[in-house]
Amino acid sequence: MSKEQRLVGRRAYRPHWPVNSHKVFKRRRWPGTKRSMLKLSGRYNPKTLRREMVLTDKKPLFWSVGLLALLLLPLGVASDRFFTMFGIICIYAAINVMWTLIIGTAGLQSFATLATVGVGAYGAGYLSVTYGIPWPAMLVVGALLGGVMGWLISLPARRLDGLYYALLTLGLSEFMRNFVTQSDALGGKFNGALFGVARIVPSDLLTTQLGQSLLYITAFIALLIALAVFRWVNGGRTGILLRAAATSKEDESFASALGIDFNKERTRVFIIASAMLGFLGAFYATYIGGTSLQIFSLDLLLLLLAMIVIGGLGRAEGAVVGTVIVVGITQWFTEWGPWRIVLVGALALASVLFTRNGLFGLKEQIQEIRERRQALHRAAITGRYAEYLPQQAPDILDKSQIVGRVYEKSLRERLRSWINPDLIAEHEAKPMGQHSDHLERMLNYFRKAPIPDKYAVYCEVPFESYRVVALSGLPGVPPRVVDDKVYPTLEQAYHAVFLRRVNDLRAS
């Protein structure tokens, strides 16, 4: 979703390019759906007035560049270390994207992610080792097991509040681990690990670079499938409605007012995500050719949570980028030993303590801080200079008027500070002719005052009697007499006008 462009302040750059307005523009859509690939809108360029196309949502660009880099980097470097690291990144990112679907879209705080993955991995792996089923069947079995598991876990979700549900599911992994350790069929030999699972890439190819590349490409495809499922569910009708409901306070009643059965839809999303998790588990088993109890450990679950938290809870891009960061740290700095996990934990802790929503919430957070500081600054300069600032006087069309008023105000203040008995005495001594700088400036200011109510000298009898009057400013309306004082000379009358003006300046 792209935001509206702001009227004041910094604007986001939107890619745009001129188009031929005589031709009909054909919008590209995903095959079989009505969804457009890119969010484009046409407009006339405000400066050149030429027809142009604007890309309103830049995310698809970032996604395609990022995913292309993720695909090409290991294939280009082609070292074992890169293949291992990026393979793990792809699989964990896929798991995290599905987890994001559960937390963000379904709004269920479930920690049963790895338990579901492990059920898929162990179920499919066990069938493959014991009955020798091929890998496509394993993937199907994994998805089915995951779906069933998801349905079972979602049963208590109908009755439980968010955090209660989180607590309930946190224990599941540990229970599964105990079960595998103590069951005779799975545990016992090799401490619960399974070996010799059917693999997608034939095992004689695996030692070659081609085999490694193929294996990596399968992991990448798994990530793409997960992202596609995320897009399908999260961007679909249900996902949009569920998210709309999740932003309001009264989630469930609001959703039912919109016409969706909140619990049913939530469970549906949960089961889809769980089936996908089971599928990923089975894929993981074929990917590494086996599975171990490591998958049920609480530490791995916490590591996955750290990835999501660092990236930003509830966003697919956060899940992927967080995974890249965390797996990058844990796989690249292997010589640091346990300290690298400590570093990851510290990063997660810092992102909880200092950011609102991880890495991808940072932009909004910084923007909000900046806006707050701008507002404070604006308030400060408003207090210093004038009642108005150009941003705050929308009804005055001629902004130069506002600037003029601001200038007048500061000028008046300066002049007021110059008023003192010496200045008045100087004017009394010599109303006409050359004056000191301050007095000259003050008289200049008085001279350019507007005509209505401007003081003037009225001559009753030349060289005998003068009066102070105020001009009306209207044609045909005579000036009014201000008081009944009569001055014998012109100089005294001038000085009386000056005193009145000084008084008015003092009072303003």
Q: What is the DSSP letter of 29?
A: B
**One residue of 219, 255, 348, 442 binding another protein per CB under 8 A:** 348
CA 211, CA 3: separation in Å to the nearest integer? 45
CB of 110 to another protein, least distance (A): 13
Q: Environment class of residue 303 by beta-carbon count within 10 Å: exposed (0-12), middle (13-18) or buried (19+)? A: buried
Q: Which helix (H) or strand (E) holds 457?
A: strand 455-461
Which residue carries 């995310």 as its tokens?
A: 59
Distances (CA, A) of 235 to 120, 213, 223, 227: 26, 32, 17, 11
Does 335 bind another protein (CB under 8 A)? Our answer is: no
Rank residues 141 and 348 by Cβ distance to another protein and give the closer one.
348
Of 269, 242, 231, the residue nearest 36 (C-alpha): 231
Burial 13-26 (b: 16+ CB within 10 A, else e): eeebeeeeeeeeee
C-alpha dihedral (199, 202, 204, 209), degrees to nearest 10: -100
Of 438, 437, 434, 468, the residue nearest 453 (C-alpha): 468
CB of 347 to another protein, least distance (A): 9
Task: Note the residue count of the chain.
Answer: 508
**Contact by Cβ (8 Å): 93, 315:** no
Q: Which helix (H) or strand (E) holds 53?
A: strand 51-55
Segment 305-324, which members bind another protein (CB under 8 A)? 305-306, 309
Segment 157-196, which members bind another protein (CB under 8 A)? 159-161, 163-164, 166-168, 170-172, 174-176, 178-179, 181-183
Q: Which stretch binds another protein (CB under 8 A): 216-224, 295-303, 316-324, 465-473?
A: 295-303
CB of 8 to another protein, least distance (A): 27
Segment 231-290, which members bind another protein (CB under 8 A)? none
Q: Which stretch binds another protein (CB under 8 A): 46-54, 60-68, 280-288, 291-299?
A: 291-299
CA 508, CA 506: separation in Å to the nearest integer? 6
CA 108, CA 111: separation in Å to the nearest integer? 9
Rank residues 36 and 178 by Cβ distance to another protein and give the closer one.
178
CB of 103 to another protein, least distance (A): 10
**One residue of 250, 261, 299, 504 binding another protein per CB under 8 A:** 299
How many residues line the site for another protein (CB under 8 A)? Answer: 43
CB of 389 to another protein, least distance (A): 32
CA 315, CA 154: separation in Å to the nearest integer? 22
Q: Which stretch binds another protein (CB under 8 A): 2-10, 303-311, 417-425, 432-440?
A: 303-311
Does 346 bind another protein (CB under 8 A)? Our answer is: yes
Rank residues 145 and 442 by Cβ distance to another protein and give the closer one.
145
3-state secondary structure of 27: coil
The site map against another protein for 120-159 (x = CB under 8 A) is -----------------------------------xx--x
Question: Which residues of this protein are in contact with another protein, per CB under 8 A?
Answer: 109, 155-156, 159-161, 163-164, 166-168, 170-172, 174-176, 178-179, 181-183, 297-299, 302-303, 305-306, 309, 337-339, 341-342, 344-346, 348-349, 352-353, 356
